[in-house]
Structure 1
Amino acid sequence: MQKNWMSLAISGLSTVALSAVLVACGSDGDTPAASVPDANKFFNRTATFTVCSQIGASCESDEVTAAEIVAASEDGMTLVYSNSPKGEIGFVDITDVKAPKPLGALAMGGEPTSVTVLGAHAIVAVNTSPSFTAPSGKLVVVDIATRKAVAEIVLPGQPDSIAVSRDGKYLAVAIENERDEDLGDGAPPQLPGGSLVIVDVAGAPGAWKTRTVDLTGIAALYPSDPEPEYVAINDDNVAVVTLQENNHIALVDLASGKVTRHFSAGSVDLAQVDLTDAPRPNQVSFTQSQANRMREPDGVTWLSRTRFATANEGDLNGGSRGFTVWNSEGNVVWDAGNALEHLVARVGHYNDKRSDAKGNEPENVAFGRFDGTDYVFVASERSSVVSVYDMSQPDVPAFKQVLPTALAPEGVLAIPSRKLLIVASEADDRASLVRSSLNIYQYQTAAPAYPTIQSADRADGTPIPWSALSGLAAAPTGAIVYAIDDSFFRGNRIFEIDTAGKPAKLQREIRITDPDGKIAALAATLPAAKDANAFDATDLAAMVNADGTVNLDPEGIALASAAQGGGFWIASEGAGTVGEAARPVLSANLVFKLTATGVVQEIIQLPADVNARQQRFGFEGIAESDGKLVVAFQRAWAGETRPRIGVYDLTAKTWQFMFYPLDAVASPNGGWVGLSDITAMGNNRFMLVERDNQGGPDARIKRLYRIDLTGQADGAVLAKTLVRDLLPDLKAPGGNVVEKIEGLARLANGEWIVVNDNDGVDDGANSGETQLIRLGQLSGG
Structure 2
Amino acid sequence: MPVSRFKKSLLVLSIAASATVVQANSFNRIASFGAIDNLPEGTESERETSPEIIAASEDGNTLVYSDSPFEALGFVDITNVQMPVAGGLVKLDGEPTSVAIGGNTVFAGVNTSESYTQPSGYLMALGLQTRNELARCDLGGQPDSVAVSKDGRYVAVAIENERDEDLNEGELPQLPAGWVTVVPVKNGQPQCDKLMKVDMTGLAEIGATDPEPEFVDFNSRNEIVVTLQENNHLAIIDAASGKILNHFSAGSVELDGIDIKKDKKLDFSGSQTRLREPDSVKWIDENRFVIANEGDMNGGARGFTIFHKDGRILFESGTSFEQEIILAGHYPEKRSGKKGSEPEGVAVGEFDGQTYIFILSERASVIGVYRDTGGEPEFVQLLPSGIAPESAVVIPQRNLLVSANEKDLIEDKGPRAHVMLYGFSDAPIAYPQITSTRTSNGTPIGWGALSGLTADPAKPGMLYAVNDSFYANQPTIFSIDANQTPARITAAIPVLRDGQAAKKLDLEGIAADGKGGFWLASEGKTKKDVPHGIHHVNSNGEIDRTIDFPAELLKHEIRFGAEGITMIGETLWVAIQRPWKDDPADQVKLLAYHLKTNSWGAVHYPLEHVSTGWVGLSEIVNHGDQVYIIERDNQLGESAQVKRLYRVSTDQLKPAEIGSELPVVKKTLVHDFLPDLKSLNGYVQDKIEGFTVDAAGNGYAVTDNDGVDDSSGETLFFRIGKM
Q: Secondary structure at the match of 2:168?
A: coil
Q: Secondary structure at the match of 2:170?
A: coil
Shift of 1:462: 1.2
1:686 aligned partner, one-letter code: V
Task: Within 5 Å, give how 1:686-705 maps onto structure 2.
Answer: 686-705=627-646
C-alpha change, 1:486 and 1:115, in structure 2 (3 Å) is same
Q: Is the CA contact (8 Å cut-off) linking 2:393 and 2:402 kept in structure 1?
A: yes
Q: Is the CA contact (8 Å cut-off) linking 1:126 and 1:140 kept in structure 2?
A: yes
The answer to whether residue 563 in structure 2 is matched with residue 610 in structure 1 is no
Residue among 572, 594, 614 paired with 2:522: 572
The answer to whether residue 623 in structure 2 is matched with residue 681 in structure 1 is yes
The answer to whether residue 118 in structure 2 is matched with residue 134 in structure 1 is yes
C-alpha change, 1:514 and 1:246, in structure 2 (3 Å) is same
Percent sequence identity over matched residues? 45
Residue among 270, 274, 283 paired with 2:265: 283
C-alpha change, 1:747 and 1:61, in structure 2 (3 Å) is same
1:241 aligned partner, one-letter code: V
The answer to whether residue 300 in structure 2 is matched with residue 319 in structure 1 is yes
1:596 aligned partner, one-letter code: S
Shift of 1:601: 2.1
Hey, what does 1:113 align to over in structure 2?
97
The answer to whether residue 203 in structure 2 is matched with residue 262 in structure 1 is no
Task: Within 5 Å, give how 1:323-722 maps onto structure 2.
Answer: 323-391=304-372, 393-430=373-410, 431-476=412-457, 477-490=459-472, 491-515=474-498, 547-561=500-514, 565-576=515-526, 584=527, 586-641=529-584, 642-667=587-612, 671-683=613-625, 685-711=626-652, 712=654, 714=656, 715-722=662-669
Q: Secondary structure at the match of 1:313?
A: coil
C-alpha change, 1:585 and 1:70, in structure 2 (3 Å) is closer
Superposed CA offset, 1:135-189 (max 9, x none):
1111221222233323222212111011111111111111101111122312111
2:616 aligned partner, one-letter code: G
Task: Within 5 Å, give how 1:758-773 maps onto structure 2.
Answer: 758-762=705-709, 765-773=710-718
C-alpha change, 1:691 and 1:107, in structure 2 (3 Å) is same
Superposed CA offset, 1:254-303 (max 9, x none):
0111011111111111111111113xxx5322211113x11111000001
**2 CA distance for matches of 1:204 and 1:571?**
65
Q: Is the CA contact (8 Å cut-off) linking 1:567 and 1:596 kept in structure 2?
A: yes
The answer to whether residue 86 in structure 2 is matched with residue 102 in structure 1 is yes
Shift of 1:599: 1.6
Shift of 1:549: 3.7
C-alpha change, 1:697 and 1:187, in structure 2 (3 Å) is farther
Q: Is the CA contact (8 Å cut-off) linking 1:588 and 1:611 kept in structure 2?
A: no
Q: Is the CA contact (8 Å cut-off) linking 2:480 and 2:488 kept in structure 1?
A: yes
1:397 aligned partner, one-letter code: P
C-alpha change, 1:650 and 1:713, in structure 2 (3 Å) is closer
**2 CA distance for matches of 1:189 and 1:206?**
32
Q: Is the CA contact (8 Å cut-off) linking 1:311 and 1:362 kept in structure 2?
A: yes
Shift of 1:709: 4.1
The aligned length equals: 690
Shift of 1:204: 5.5
Residue among 151, 159, 180 paired with 1:167: 151
Q: Secondary structure at the match of 1:95?
A: coil
The answer to whether residue 140 in structure 2 is matched with residue 156 in structure 1 is yes
Shift of 1:213: 0.7
**1 CA distance for matches of 2:609 and 2:42?**
20
Shift of 1:699: 1.9
Runs of at least 5 residues in structure 2 that lack an aligned partner in the other structure: 1-21, 657-661
Q: Secondary structure at the match of 1:483?
A: strand
Runs of at least 5 residues in structure 1 that lack an aligned partner in the other structure: 1-37, 517-546, 577-583
**1 CA distance for matches of 2:422 and 2:550?**
52
Superposed CA offset, 1:378-431 (max 9, x none):
00101111101111x212111110011111110111111111111111000223
TM-score norm. by structure 1 comes to 0.86
Hey, what does 1:22 align to over in structure 2?
none
Hey, what does 2:699 align to over in structure 1?
752
1:276 aligned partner, one-letter code: K
**1 CA distance for matches of 2:32 and 2:552?**
48
The answer to whether residue 230 in structure 2 is matched with residue 225 in structure 1 is no
Q: Is the CA contact (8 Å cut-off) linking 1:492 and 1:551 kept in structure 2?
A: no
Q: Is the CA contact (8 Å cut-off) linking 2:105 and 2:188 kept in structure 1?
A: no
Q: Is the CA contact (8 Å cut-off) linking 2:504 and 2:531 kept in structure 1?
A: no
Q: Is the CA contact (8 Å cut-off) linking 2:358 and 2:368 kept in structure 1?
A: yes
Q: Is the CA contact (8 Å cut-off) linking 2:39 and 2:89 kept in structure 1?
A: no
Q: Which 4+ runs in 1 deviate beyond 3 A?
A: 56-60, 206-209, 547-551
Q: Is the CA contact (8 Å cut-off) linking 2:23 and 2:428 kept in structure 1?
A: no
Q: Secondary structure at the match of 1:710?
A: helix
- Which range is displaced more, 223-232 or 56-65? 56-65
TM-score norm. by structure 2 comes to 0.93
Q: Is the CA contact (8 Å cut-off) linking 2:40 and 2:89 kept in structure 1?
A: no
Hey, what does 2:16 align to over in structure 1?
none
Q: Is the CA contact (8 Å cut-off) linking 2:508 and 2:564 kept in structure 1?
A: yes
Shift of 1:39: 4.0
Q: Secondary structure at the match of 2:529?
A: coil
C-alpha change, 1:62 and 1:80, in structure 2 (3 Å) is same
Q: How well do the aligned residues superpose, as a CA RMSD in angstroms? A: 1.7
1:417 aligned partner, one-letter code: Q
**1 CA distance for matches of 2:278 and 2:640?**
38
**2 CA distance for matches of 1:41 and 1:341?**
23
Please identify which structure carries the higher strand content: 2
1:498 aligned partner, one-letter code: D
Q: Is the CA contact (8 Å cut-off) linking 2:390 and 2:406 kept in structure 1?
A: yes
Q: Is the CA contact (8 Å cut-off) linking 2:184 and 2:191 kept in structure 1?
A: no
C-alpha change, 1:207 and 1:270, in structure 2 (3 Å) is closer
Q: Secondary structure at the match of 1:660?
A: strand
**2 CA distance for matches of 1:270 and 1:421?**
30
Superposed CA offset, 1:220-259 (max 9, x none):
1111111000000001110000000011001000011101
